[in-house]
Amino acid sequence: MVEKLRIYNSLSKKKETFEPLEPPFVGMYVCGPTVYSDVHLGNIRTFMSFDVVYRYLTYLGYKVRYVRNITDVGHLENDADEGEDKISKKARLEHLEPMEIVQKYTNGFHELTQIFNMKPPSIEPSATGHIVEQIEMTQTLLDKGLAYEVNGSVYFDVAKYDKNHHYGKLSGRKIEEMMESGRALASQDEKRNTIDFALWKKASPEHIMRWSSPWGKGFPGWHLECSVMGTKYLGQTFDIHGGGLDLQFPHHECEIAQSVGTYGKDPVRYWMHTNMLTVNGQKMSKSLGNSFLPHELFTGNHPLLDEPYSPMTTKFFMLQSHYSSTLDFSNDALKAARKGYKKMINGLRLVKQMQYVDDGAPQDERTIQQVTNIIEACHSAMNDDFNTALAIGQLFNLLKKINSLHTGQLAFGALGAEVFEEIKTTYIDFVENILALKEEAPSDYKGLVEAMVEIYKEAKFKKDFDRVDKIRAGLKANGIIVKDMKTGIEWAYEE
Ligand code: AMP
Ligand code: ZN
C-alpha cells in the first residue's frame, strides 16, 4: 500500500499528511530570485527542488497554482535595512537603468530554468508591479497599531505584535534573545527595537528606485512583497510556501508576522525549506564569492572544476540528494552523477521503444510481486516528502527488470502485458515528467557529421556505391548535403 503524500512542515517541525485547503486545488508560493545578478548553482538547487514539488503534485492530480515572484526592488545590502539597494548599485556599476538590470538578470534566470528543464510558474509577479498593494498593507498595519512611522519610514513593531502572537515560531527563535543580541546597535537606529523591520523605507536623495506614498518618496521593505503577492494570488491562507533555508529567518518569519498582523490568520499551511548547496562545507553564496554560475559549470571554466558538466548531469547530481539535506559540491560526485544520468536516460530510450512481446511464457507471481513492490516504492519515495534520492534508487531497480526483459533473461509473459505497461509508464513518468530529466543531444553534432562524411569518403574510394547512397540519403534526411567538389568532398546545410 502506498502511503499518502507527507510533507515536512518547517512550522510544526514534523512530517504531516498533505491535505490542501480546497482539493484538488493547491496554492504554492516560492520566493523567486533577486534579479541584480546571475543566479548561481545554489539558487538553481532550490528552484529545481520546487519544480519537482510542482511536477509531482500535478502528477498526483492536483491543480496547482504555482506563484514564483521576481524580486526586483527593495533588497538592501544587509538585514538591518541599511546600505544601498542592490539593484541600484549594480545599475550604477554596469551603467544601466535599474530596470535594464532587472530585465537582464530575469532573462538570464528564465534561460537557465529552460536549460534545466523546469516548468514556468503559473504566475510570475514582480515586486515593482505591486507597490500599491504594499503601501496598502503597510497602511493597514499602521491602522492596527502594529507599525509606526519615523522620518518617512515605516517599521513593523515586533515587540507589540509578540504580545498577542508568537514572533519566532517558524525559526524557533526567542524574541528576548533576539532583542538582547541586537541591543548594541540600538542607539544608531531610528527603530524602536533592532528586531523591528522596515515595511517602507524613505528614499535617500541618491536612491533611484522610489515611489510616492503617504509617508513620502520611498520603497517597500524586504519582506512585504511576498506577503502581498502571496495573498493577492493565493488568498489569505494558502497551502505551500517555499524557499531556501536561509530565507526562514528573517524573511519568512516576517511574512508570517505581516500577514497575521493584517488578516489575523496564518498565511501558510505547509512551510517548506530547501537546504543549501555548499562548497567545501560552506554555503554557496553570491556574497561569499564561492559561487559558480551554471555556464561556468557547462564550460568547465572555473578553478574548482576538473572538467565541464552538462545541465542534466548537474540536475541528476542535485536530485540524488533529498532537498532538506545539505549537498556539497564535488567533482567526484558530479562524475558519478554523469554515469548515473546516462544510465537512467539510456533506460528511457530503451523503454520507450520496447513493445510487449507475447512469448507464451507462463506468468510468474513472484516476479510480478517484485516488480509491483518496486513500482510502489517509487511512489512511496516521492510521497515521503518528495524523496527524489530514494526514488532514483528504485528507478534503477526498475531499470534492472527492463534490461532483463531486453536481454531476454526475463520473459515478457512472466509479467503479462498489464504489468509490463505499468513498468513502462512508471519509468517514463518518473524520469521525464517528475524528475524531468531529458535526453541531451551530443553538443558537438558537427563532429558526428564529420565522422559520417569520413565514412562516405572511404566508401566512395572503395566504390561501395550502395553505402555511399545510404549515407547521402541519411544525411539529407537530417538536412545535410554532401557535395562532391573538384577540390574534395564537402558538406553543407541543405538550402
Ligand atoms: P536569492 O536570489 O539570493 O534571493 O536566492 C534565491 C533562492 O535561492 C532563495 O530561495 C535562496 O534561499 C536560495 N539559495 C541561496 N543560496 C543557496 C544555496 N547555496 N543553496 C540552495 N539554495 C540557495
Ligand atoms: Zn519571499
Q: What's the Cα-to-Cα distance from 400 to each of 33, 192, 318, 341, 480, rounded to whole Å?
A: 40, 64, 23, 15, 38
Enter the DSSP assignment of 130.
G
Q: What's the Cα-to-Cα distance from 368 to each of 373, 374, 375, 399, 411, rounded to whole Å?
A: 9, 10, 11, 15, 12
Please state, in angstroms and rounded to a whole number, the distance separating the CA atoms of residues 366 and 368. Answer: 5
Please state, in angstroms and rounded to a whole number, the distance separating the CA atoms of residues 125 and 226. Answer: 10
Look at strands 82-85 and 76-78 and give their pairing.
Answer: antiparallel
Please state, in angstroms and rounded to a whole number, the distance separating the CA atoms of residues 482 and 495. Answer: 12
For residue 46, the CA-to-ligand 1 centroid distance in Å is: 6
**pLDDT for the residue 71:** 94
Q: Which residue lies with its CA nearest to atom 17 of ligand 1?
A: 42
Please state, in angstroms and rounded to a whole number, the distance separating the CA atoms of residues 449 and 85. Answer: 51
The residues whose Cβ lies within 5 A of ligand 2, an ion, are 31, 226
Enter the DSSP assignment of 248.
I
3-class SS of residue 196: coil
Q: Are 119 and 54 in contact (CB under 8 A)?
A: yes
Enter the DSSP assignment of 204.
P
| Whether the CB of 242 sits within 6 Å of ligand 1 | no
Q: Which residue lies with its CA nearest to atom 14 of ligand 1?
A: 43
| Whether the CB of 272 sits within 6 Å of ligand 1 | no
Which ligand 1 atom sits closest to the C-alpha of 243?
Answer: 10
Which ligand 1 atom sits closest to the C-alpha of 291?
Answer: 19
| Whether the CB of 241 sits within 6 Å of ligand 1 | no
Strand order in the sheet with 282-283: 282-283, 277-279, 327-329
For residue 107, the CA-to-ligand 1 centroid distance in Å is: 18
Cβ neighbours of residue 313 closer than 8 Å, sequence gap 6 or more: 334, 337, 338, 341
For residue 284, the CA-to-ligand 1 centroid distance in Å is: 9
Q: Looking up cell 498577542, which residue turns up?
A: 164
* H-type alpha helices, 26-118: 41-59, 86-94, 98-115
**pLDDT for the residue 183:** 57
Mutate to test the pocket of ligand 1, among 246, 249, 280 (most ligand atoms within 8 A of CB): 246
**pLDDT for the residue 209:** 87
Q: Which ligand is nearest to the CA of 226?
A: 2
Q: In the beta sheet, which residues pair with residue 329?
A: 279
Please state, in angstroms and rounded to a whole number, the distance separating the CA atoms of residues 154 and 489. Answer: 74
Residue 414 grid cell:
512472466
> What pLDDT tens digit does each residue of the chain (495 aa) get?
678 999 999 999 999 999 999 999 999 999 999 998 999 999 999 999 999 999 999 999 999 999 999 999 855 655 555 667 788 888 888 998 889 999 999 999 999 999 999 999 999 999 999 999 999 999 999 999 999 999 999 999 999 999 999 999 999 998 888 887 665 554 457 999 999 999 999 998 878 889 999 999 999 998 999 999 999 999 999 999 999 999 999 999 999 999 999 999 999 999 999 999 999 899 999 778 888 899 999 999 999 999 999 999 999 999 999 999 999 999 999 999 999 999 999 999 999 999 999 999 999 999 999 999 999 999 999 999 999 999 999 999 999 999 999 999 999 999 999 999 999 999 999 999 999 999 998 767 888 999 999 999 999 999 999 999 999 999 999 999 999 888 889 999 999
Which ligand 1 atom sits closest to the C-alpha of 278?
Answer: 19
Which ligand 1 atom sits closest to the C-alpha of 283?
Answer: 19
| Whether the CB of 134 sits within 6 Å of ligand 1 | no
For residue 451, the CA-to-ligand 1 centroid distance in Å is: 43
Please state, in angstroms and rounded to a whole number, the distance separating the CA atoms of residues 13 and 127. Answer: 30
